[in-house]
Chain A
């Protein structure tokens, strides 16, 4: 009985995510076309679209990761259906409010809503408080979900076991599955950054309702904003990775991956350093003490590289000279890992202070984070969605059709991203609705990016149709 419930709610999550994904990609393509001069939106429309594109994308891939680990976690511990449902309801409310705030209210602070921009009302008066309320609703909903999952894991594993500390010794008695290890580490990060969001919202509300007598400190607010924003964007990737650790071997018909001492070590590094990596968003704020900046650079390396190395290595070991059953699912995983690594190179280059001074807030930034999302995390989650949807039906996507889907994804994604990277190296600023004439390559690159993003959209639409159809069937099947 219970397993049907979780199956259904996971289907709802998947349908919601895919629908919003398609809508947000369309907004993204419209943005690129506007930057390329093909469309003439007003800057306010452009920036409202950009704001909702950013928030939605972060939001949906975060919940996609959460829904994924929640579903798989049922294999190890019982999870709370109620918490899952609360999160779903609050997410839907929050997202609806946010779309209203941006598309009707024309709220356009960019998704990072840097203080004090949300309080300098340049849009409908109701938009600012509604935005703050919507963000609070999302934070609370996700906090409940995260804490509930953490509680369930802790019922079975002690703290030390959940973080696989016993693996630092030889031949541990209890073995922590890598899925539990990574989920736990990610949940701790998620809960922390959602607490940050709550603090941030509280400070905003305090200033908003004080009528000018309470003013926040801009540096503190910026730190809090990126603590929340960067960390959640980063953790959602790790949620996707937890799914890979669980499913990659299984789908290929191979024995499950095990936790070893270096897997444990690498992920514990992530646990610690992920919390200070966000400092790299403030490299160009000379007000931040230099010590913090250097911590930021080192933490950026240490939070990502060991975990990436371990994961990539595990994937290589699992594939190299091993006869495995390739399906759409593990191909998506495999390509996703490659995309994640390549985006990671772009990120590490940018997280280096002496490079950041010529890359900060140029198109290099959307270049690298779109790489490990568009060609990384999205593929992880799509792989999971597909795997989930075919579990309960027998009709598969044929191999030739999979090849077509993957080729279009790669070609579209690569062209779309290449335009961003070259733009970044050409010093073209990010978040410009229209480019000044002196950036001679900018318009061409924007249209080039738009064209390839459209190619990327085709396989997404196919998968959307394919997966949604099956999820709807799961949703409306009475028994099973």
Chain B
């Protein structure tokens, strides 16, 4: 699970920082005036940092989600219109004047496309799996349609939550669909 590895990575980095800072602090407590300071080789420090940053960037940037499944023809399109404080999901285009939605069922192991827009303010469109993990998301912006492609590997019920603050009932703005 991506989130767990992120948390682990964070704790790891935090641990290193804590150890080094504590070590540096303690060293000053028992220092005497004549000691030499070995931290003069700054160049290497910066070089290592730059290289690590470069590697991290070049590994992660290709994993960006914008063009995921771009070369596939999706099995289904779902139109999504977000509106304070509900979602309309439909297999047909949604009329902004008379928005209406339907129960959605999606095929497992096939690419599907969500066309997400908003009829009023900015909203979020976040998909949570059965174990309640956030698996993917996009924003719903008025005037624009965002195309989110995804392939569900597990059948089950998926929840949709609004992840962009949209007003007083933001926390209850939700919907769901099933994957079979």
Contact = CB atoms under 8 A, between A and B. Distances in A.
Contacts of A436: 161, 171-172, 174
Contact of A286 (B18, B148, B172): B148
Interface in B100-150: 120-122, 124, 126, 128, 132-139, 141-144, 146-148
A362 B21 contact: no
B164 interface: yes
A21 to B, nearest CB: 24
B98 interface: no
Nearest to B122: A114
A290 B65 CA distance: 10
Nearest to B65: A357
Contacts of A305: 49, 53
Nearest to B22: A338
Given A338-B18, A354-B65, A362-B134, A117 B121 contact: yes
Nearest to A48: B168
A72 interface: no
B147 A286 contact: yes
Contacts of A205: none
A293 B10 CA distance: 23
Contact of A287 (B39, B137, B141): B141
Interface residues of B, number: 74
Given A47-B168, A313-B39, A438-B132, A321 B28 contact: yes
A114 B163 contact: no
Nearest to B67: A290
B47 to A, nearest CB: 11
Contacts of B67: 290
A394 B56 CA distance: 50
Interface string A213-245: 000011100100000000000000000000000
B51 interface: no
A323 B143 contact: no
Contacts of A355: 2, 6, 60
Contacts of B46: 262, 306, 309
Given A305-B49, A354-B65, A425-B7, A434 B14 contact: no
A202 interface: no
A294 B28 contact: no
Contacts of A309: 45-46, 49
Contact of A297 (B33, B57, B134): B57
Contact of A360 (B137, B170, B172): B137
Contacts of B32: 323
Interface in B1-58: 2-4, 6-7, 9-10, 13-14, 17-18, 20-21, 24-25, 27-28, 31-33, 35-39, 42, 45-46, 49, 53, 56-57
Contacts of A298: 57
Contact of B167 (A115, A122, A337, A358): A122
A443 to B, nearest CB: 13
A358 B65 CA distance: 11
B171 A434 contact: yes
Nearest to B147: A286
A369 to B, nearest CB: 14
Contact of A427 (B63, B132, B141, B165): B132
A349 interface: yes
A390 interface: no
Contacts of A424: 3
A3 to B, nearest CB: 33
A332 interface: no
A320 B61 contact: no
B159 interface: yes
B126 to A, nearest CB: 8
Contacts of A108: 167-168
Contacts of B57: 297-298, 301
A43 B169 contact: yes
B73 interface: no
A109 B165 CA distance: 8
Q: Pick from A285, A286, A436, A438 the residue with the most CB of B within 10 Å.
A: A286
A319 B135 CA distance: 44
A434 B46 CA distance: 45
A357 B64 CA distance: 9
A436 to B, nearest CB: 7
A290 B67 CA distance: 9
Contact of B141 (A285, A290, A294, A431): A285
Contacts of A349: 6, 9-10
B3 A427 contact: yes
B60 A352 contact: yes
Interface in A428-465: 429, 431-436, 438-439
A301 B53 contact: yes
Contact of A322 (B37, B147, B164): B37
Given A219-B144, A425-B4, 20 more contacts: A109-B165, A117-B122, A120-B120, A218-B143, A285-B139, A285-B141, A286-B138, A287-B146, A290-B67, A294-B61, A320-B24, A338-B18, A341-B21, A345-B13, A345-B14, A360-B163, A425-B6, A427-B134, A431-B165, A431-B171
14 contacts: A112-B165, A120-B121, A319-B28, A320-B37, A322-B31, A326-B28, A349-B6, A353-B60, A357-B136, A358-B2, A361-B126, A425-B4, A425-B6, A435-B171
Interface of B: 2-4, 6-7, 9-10, 13-14, 17-18, 20-21, 24-25, 27-28, 31-33, 35-39, 42, 45-46, 49, 53, 56-57, 60-61, 63-67, 84, 120-122, 124, 126, 128, 132-139, 141-144, 146-148, 159, 161, 163-172, 174
